[in-house]
């Protein structure tokens, strides 16, 4: 490690003076004496950009480097060591990152073996606003060089990297490294740097690290941490004299307000004194930023300053100045009417709840000097760069986590750094307004530096688990070595304490089951520990998962999930309590629908972050409208986090599914499905999952009675078009109706059959009847006997696309409750299936229950219709487009074609036309009210009665002729006949296949109706042994019949005609 302090240079760099024709950027003056920092200081002259490589023409928007960039240039561009730079805000430290990246490009081009061409350059910042700013700046500039700039969450990404190519990192750039001292962000930054540096082990040269900081006094500790075996670490420290604009820090202290709870009183008290402070230190009215404690305080402060300006102008016998035309246009354009009134007074506010549109207008107006005073929350200090002549910190408290806390020292320094505009001012002012007891603390802070400390020990257990999962830590010695490579080691005074930290955390992980440690203290990650690390779950949240296992109710499980540590960033604001309470327990005046599981504690008042997240998640799943823009933004963030945590919880529960309560497992699956689909698992808003359907369209469908997947499939494109209205003008190539109809056709439809076998064995079959089941969408099959889990299987969507899933399992010999089979889709809501079989059915082998039809209800409906009508059923006339319509007998007979032996057989063309015509009438709403389910009305009632009676008879197998006719109807009517029984004899015999090369087609071709699905039902495999699962999916029966099967087929048709329908 080598420390370099800004000092004068008396001679040019020989490497630069002798290589002007090579690729380099700066030229150091050959003469002029530059005083040192300890004496009368003068800034060194700027260095000119010369001999720029043609590829980099126009990369920089300036022609010369400033003083800080000139001093660091030799180490950052000519050298390849690690670098830590501490300099005031506004010194152009971002340019150092760009020079380091160009050095890497030069190295891989001009130096053989100087770097890997596929390695990455990673920029790490503690807040997203800085990453967004760098991305917007670098993306177009590096695109001209043929390079790609991407957004990534590096900590989460490095936990999942598998190939060595993904782990190649040539350069790691750390911005605002002084935030290591932040209790929440600091440990993450520390682990990112430590892990990235360790990833280069065994891959050649180590990763180069360039870190910059606005305020970092103990820079030597950071440099010692970043130093590696093959790279020295250089440090550069620049004092406040290097600021582009000199800063005058001032601390104003007021007596009183020292008791807890006085923060808001002190804030209101300052509204009366702030105008005089502004007038005293900024009489010219230069742009001023005032940082306030809360969003409400920004409006109150801006209004106080605006009214004071108007009173001052009236006392000077002048009319209140009217706003400029530009400011008037901005006031008319903003959405916030309260903000518009402030803009007319020449002041404005800036906070996190503003819409992007309003925030952009205010920022641009402040840059253009149309706004003289801007009241902002502390988020502006860490986000967009809006420098001002004067910065005022109104109180040293902030409202976070539902309570007021002291501002972190680092954040105070960031606020002070906003003072000074190089293009306008020659000096800047920063005023800290606080109580008298805090005067000395902030006086020292403003004039000195804060030591950067590590807080890794406060969140070490999650990061140790991640390193064990990645294989970085395999024993106690590895854990100690990893800790020694962290910044925490540099701040620990005694080494024995470090050993205690490593052993203690490993023991905690071992006790929690996240790792396994043997007697030799060797560590191995468990399956649970790997999931916790992969899903980026905090250790406290994992402990919360243990409580969720005991929650069998959806309301309790969701309440515990929303109390996770990952939601702490979504803090509850004071102005959000009223709209959240209206969602939780609306009054009669509100005339709004409440959330599904209201929280009635404290009369429904939302009191903390967990209740806020719970309310927002339920509102989103219930398709309730949230008016506030910021709450909508928080809802999206809460849904993403909740979905990630729920998926991790499902994986953890599934690993130990035999030991968890049955209802808890089912509830967890339904909760994960709801968060993935963003509607409740049993929500009527099925169509809201489609890309082409929004909230308004979904409400239209639900109000029209289309509140289930079954009803959605029954609507034709014409009906959807009439229901949803005319398409918008923006849809040129396809209408919204066609898009919805296309997505409806892809909606999966499943059938679950639960069949009793001999010796207390059961067979469960899952079949995909229609739609598409994606390869990445898992399906969870549960068979429950009360609180006991008899079967728990995860089924792949690809498996069902190729065939049916069937498995035998052992059931209870003395069942006291009904067996229930649940099929839960992992992604799509509204397609779940539930089948219940009474316990007595176990003694009747061959009996079955299907999720597609209630046989008892069907027979009851047929009996009632027969009693009411006493009229013989008349077939539906064929359509005019039917090829055999003219052949229909006037007597209305069903059959009119005879076979070669003179026996009448079914006219397939006639029935097909009749079914098509009746199906069209059903979809158009022209049919009369019937007690038979709509999906079965295309099948004659006599046929329904015969098969339904056979379906309920569990004492003997289904006769083979009847089963063959059932199979024929299945192939003809698809999903509408999927409930029909099959015969054991049929599945035992091998279906004759058509000979290879044969050109003979089937004598009885299979035709499908318009509404029939693409896939057919898979016959039950009675030859499978109990407890055995077919490893390969069973193929569906072929559509073509071979020559050898024609005689049997004809006999089946004759038997069906003579014995069943006549």
Structural domains in the chain plus CATH codes: 2-242 (3.40.50.300), 247-447 (3.40.50.300), 456-534 (1.10.10.10), 539-678 (1.10.3380.10), 855-994+1001-1061 (no CATH)
**β-pair partners for 779:** 795, 825
Q: What is the dihedral of CA 356, 358, 359, 360, to 10 degrees?
A: 80
**β-pair partners for 623:** none
Is 509 within 8 Å of 529 (Cβ atoms)? yes
Distances in Å between the alpha carbon of 457 and those of 195, 440, 504? 16, 29, 11
Is 633 within 8 Å of 708 (Cβ atoms)? no
Is 819 within 8 Å of 785 (Cβ atoms)? yes
Nearest to 820 by CA among 761, 764, 751: 764
Is 709 within 8 Å of 686 (Cβ atoms)? yes
Tokens at residue 641, please? 């986090």
CA atoms within 13 A on the CB side of 382: 20
Pairing of strands 897-898, 904-905: antiparallel
The burial class, CB within 10 Å (0-12 / 13-18 / 19+), for 500 is exposed
Nearest to 685 by CA among 711, 720, 717, 719: 711
Nearest to 299 by CA among 340, 342, 264, 269: 342
Question: 3-state SS of the chain: helix, strand, coil percent to 5?
Answer: 45, 15, 40
The burial class, CB within 10 Å (0-12 / 13-18 / 19+), for 295 is buried
Nearest to 382 by CA among 430, 414, 350, 349: 414
H-type alpha helices, 585-727: 609-621, 629-655, 662-677, 695-703, 709-714, 717-724
- Whole-model pTM: value is 0.58
Residue 571 region by backbone torsions, left for phi larger than 0, else alpha for psi between -120 and 50, else beta: beta
Nearest to 345 by CA among 312, 366, 321: 321
Q: How many helices (H) and strands (E) does the chain have?
A: 36, 29
* Torsion 542-543-544-547 (CA) sign: positive
Determine the length of the chain: 1062
C-alpha 470/C-alpha 461 separation (Å) is 14
Cβ neighbors of 716 (< 8 A, separation 6 or more) are 741, 923, 924
Is 373 within 8 Å of 347 (Cβ atoms)? yes
Tokens at residue 794, please? 């995860």
Pairing of strands 397-400, 403-406: antiparallel
- Order of all β-strands in the sheet with 208-213: 2-5, 233-237, 82-86, 208-213, 169-174, 120-124
Amino acid 276: pLDDT: 92
Is 377 within 8 Å of 294 (Cβ atoms)? yes
CB count within 10 Å of CB 1019 equals 22
Is 47 within 8 Å of 27 (Cβ atoms)? yes
Residue indicated by tokens 């709870």: 261
Amino acid 799: pLDDT: 82
Pairing of strands 208-213, 82-86: parallel
Nearest to 848 by CA among 1019, 964, 967: 1019
Cβ neighbors of 206 (< 8 A, separation 6 or more) are 197, 200, 228, 229, 230, 231
The separation between CA 371 and the C-alpha centre of its own chain, rounded to angstroms, equals 38
Angle at 1016 between CA 1014 and CA 1022, to 5 degrees: 160
CB count within 10 Å of CB 564 equals 23
Q: In 369-514, at which residue ranges do the beta strands (DSSP E only) sit?
A: 373-376, 390-394, 397-400, 403-406, 428-435
Tokens at residue 645, please? 């945590």
> What SS3 state is found at 433?
strand
Task: Please list, residue by residue across 70-82, b when 16 or more beta carbons sit within 10 angstroms of its beta carbon and e when fewer do.
Answer: bbbbbbbbbebbb
- CA-based Rg of the chain, rounded to a whole angstrom? 37
pLDDT block averages, 10 residues each, the chain of length 1062 = 44 34 35 30 47 63 81 87 86 88 79 59 80 84 73 65 61 86 81 81 76 80 85 86 84 86 86 91 90 90 91 66 72 89 91 85 89 88 77 86 72 83 82 90 74 78 79 80 82 58 78 82 83 87 90 92 90 85 83 87 88 94 87 90 94 88 92 94 91 86 88 82 61 63 87 84 89 80 89 87 86 75 92 82 54 58 58 39 38 35 36 36 39 56 62 49 60 55 39 34 31 34 37 38 42 45 36
The DSSP symbol for 84 reads E
Q: Which helix (H) or strand (E) holds 784?
A: strand 779-785
Tokens at residue 148, please? 């790609």
The DSSP symbol for 920 reads H
Task: Please list, residue by residue across 641-672, b when 16 or more beta carbons sit within 10 angstroms of its beta carbon and e when fewer do.
Answer: bbbbbbbbbbbbbbeebeebbbebbbbbbbbb
């Amino acid at each position: 490690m080598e420390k370099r302090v800004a000092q004068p240079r008396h001679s040019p760099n020989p490497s630069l003076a002798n290589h002007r024709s090579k690729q380099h950027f700066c030229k150091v003056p050959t003469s002029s004496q530059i005083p040192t920092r300890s004496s009368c200081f003068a800034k060194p002259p700027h260095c000119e950009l010369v001999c720029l490589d043609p590829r980099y023409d126009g990369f920089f928007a300036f022609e010369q480097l400033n003083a800080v960039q000139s001093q660091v240039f030799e180490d950052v561009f000519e050298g390849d060591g690690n670098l830590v730079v501490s300099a005031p805000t506004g010194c152009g430290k971002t340019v150092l990152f760009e020079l380091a990246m160009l050095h890497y490009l030069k190295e891989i081009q001009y130096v053989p073996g100087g770097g890997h061409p596929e390695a990455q350059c990673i920029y790490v910042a503690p807040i997203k606003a800085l990453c967004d700013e760098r991305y917007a700046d670098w993306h177009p500039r590096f695109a001209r060089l043929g390079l790609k700039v991407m957004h990534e969450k590096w900590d989460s990404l490095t936990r999942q990297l598998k190939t060595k190519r993904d782990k190649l990192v040539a350069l790691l750039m750390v911005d605002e490294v002084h935030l290591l001292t932040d209790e929440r962000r600091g440990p993450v930054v520390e682990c990112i740097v430590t892990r990235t540096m360790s990833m280069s082990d065994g891959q050649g040269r180590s990763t180069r690290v360039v870190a910059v900081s606005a305020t970092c006094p103990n820079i030597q500790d950071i440099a010692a941490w970043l130093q590696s075996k093959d790279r020295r670490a250089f440090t550069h420290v620049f004092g406040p004299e290097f600021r582009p604009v000199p800063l005058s820090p001032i601390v104003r202290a007021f007596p009183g307000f020292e008791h807890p709870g006085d923060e808001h009183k002190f804030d209101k008290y300052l509204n009366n004194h702030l105008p005089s402070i502004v007038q005293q230190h900024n009489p010219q009215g230069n742009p001023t930023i005032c940082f306030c404690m809360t969003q409400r305080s920004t409006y109150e402060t801006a209004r106080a300053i605006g009214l004071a300006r108007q009173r001052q102008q009236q006392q000077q016998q002048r009319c209140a100045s009217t706003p400029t035309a530009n400011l008037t246009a901005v006031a008319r354009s903003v959405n916030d009417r309260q903000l518009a009134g402030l803009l007319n007074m020449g002041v404005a506010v800036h906070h996190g709840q503003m819409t992007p549109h309003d925030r952009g207008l205010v920022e641009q107006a402040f840059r253009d000097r149309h706004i003289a005073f801007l009241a902002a929350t502390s988020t502006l200090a860490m986000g967009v760069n809006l420098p001002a002549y004067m910065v005022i910190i109104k109180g040293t408290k902030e409202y976070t986590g539902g309570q007021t806390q002291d501002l972190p020292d680092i954040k105070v320094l960031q606020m002070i750094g906003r003072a000074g505009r190089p293009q306008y001012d020659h000096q800047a002012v920063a005023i800290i307004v606080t109580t008298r007891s805090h005067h000395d603390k902030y006086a020292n802070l403003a004039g000195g530096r804060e030591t950067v400390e590590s807080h890794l020990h406060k969140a070490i257990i999650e990061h140790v688990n991640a390193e064990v999962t990645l294989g970085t830590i395999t024993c106690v010695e590895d854990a100690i070595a990893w800790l020694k490579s962290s910044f925490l080691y540099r701040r620990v005074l005694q080494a024995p304490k470090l050993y205690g930290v490593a052993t203690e955390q490993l023991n905690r992980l071992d006790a929690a089951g996240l790792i396994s440690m043997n007697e030799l203290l060797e560590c191995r990650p468990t399956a649970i520990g790997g999931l916790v690390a992969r899903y980026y779950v905090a250790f406290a949240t994992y402990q919360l998962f243990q409580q969720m296992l005991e929650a069998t109710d959806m309301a309790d499980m969701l309440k515990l999930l929303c109390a996770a540590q990952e939601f702490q960033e979504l803090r509850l604001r004071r102005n959000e309590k009223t709209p959240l309470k209206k969602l939780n327990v609306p009054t009669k005046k509100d005339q709004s629908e409440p959330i599904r599981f209201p929280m009635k504690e404290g009369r429904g008042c939302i009191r903390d972050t967990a209740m806020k997240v719970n309310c927002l998640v339920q509102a989103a799943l219930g398709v309730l409208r949230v008016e506030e823009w910021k709450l909508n933004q928080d809802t999206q963030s809460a849904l993403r986090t909740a979905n990630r945590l729920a998926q991790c919880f499902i994986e953890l529960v599934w690993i130990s599914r035999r030991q968890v309560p049955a209802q808890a497992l089912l509830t967890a699956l339904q909760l994960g499905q709801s968060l993935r689909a963003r509607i409740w698992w049993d929500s009527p808003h099925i169509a809201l999952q489609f890309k082409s359907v929004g909230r308004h369209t979904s409400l239209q469908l639900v109000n029209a009675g289309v509140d289930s997947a079954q009803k959605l499939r029954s609507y034709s494109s014409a009906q959807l078009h009439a229901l949803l209205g005319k398409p918008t003008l923006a849809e040129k190539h396809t209408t919204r109706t066609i898009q919805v109809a296309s997505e409806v056709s892809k909606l999966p439809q499943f059938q679950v059959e639960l069949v009793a076998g001999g010796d207390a064995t059961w067979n469960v079959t899952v079949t995909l009847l229609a739609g598409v089941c994606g390869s990445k969408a898992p399906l969870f099959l549960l068979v429950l006997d009360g609180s006991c889990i008899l079967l728990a299987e995860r089924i792949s969507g690809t498996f069902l696309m190729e065939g049916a899933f069937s498995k035998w399992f052992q059931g209870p010999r003395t069942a006291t409750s009904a067996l229930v089979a649940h099929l839960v889709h992992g992604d799509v809501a509204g397609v779940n299936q539930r089948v219940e079989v009474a316990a007595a059915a176990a003694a009747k082998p061959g009996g079955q229950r299907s999720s597609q039809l209630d046989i008892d209800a069907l027979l009851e409906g047929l009996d009632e219709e027969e009693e009411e009508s006493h009229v013989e059923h008349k077939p539906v006339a064929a359509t005019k487009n039917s090829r055999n319509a003219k052949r229909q007998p006037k007597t209305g007979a069903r059959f009119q074609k005879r076979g070669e032996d003179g026996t009448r057989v079914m006219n397939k063309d006639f029935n097909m036309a009749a079914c098509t015509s009746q199906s069209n009438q059903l979809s158009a709403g022209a049919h009369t009210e019937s007690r038979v389910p709509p999906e079965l009305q295309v099948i004659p009632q006599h046929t329904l009665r015969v098969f339904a009676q056979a379906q309920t008879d569990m004492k003997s197998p289904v006769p083979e002729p009847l089963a063959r006719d059932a199979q024929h109807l299945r192939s003809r009517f698809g999903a509408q006949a999927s409930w029909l029984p099959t015969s054991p004899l049929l599945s035992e015999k091998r279906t004759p296949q058509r000979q290879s090369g044969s050109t003979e087609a089937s004598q009885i071709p299979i035709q499908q109706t318009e509404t029939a699905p693409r896939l057919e039902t898979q016959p039950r495999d009675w030859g499978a042994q109990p407890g055995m699962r077919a490893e390969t999916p069973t193929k569906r029966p072929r559509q073509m019949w071979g020559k050898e099967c024609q005689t049997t087929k004809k006999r089946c048709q004759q038997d069906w005609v003579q014995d069943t329908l006549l």
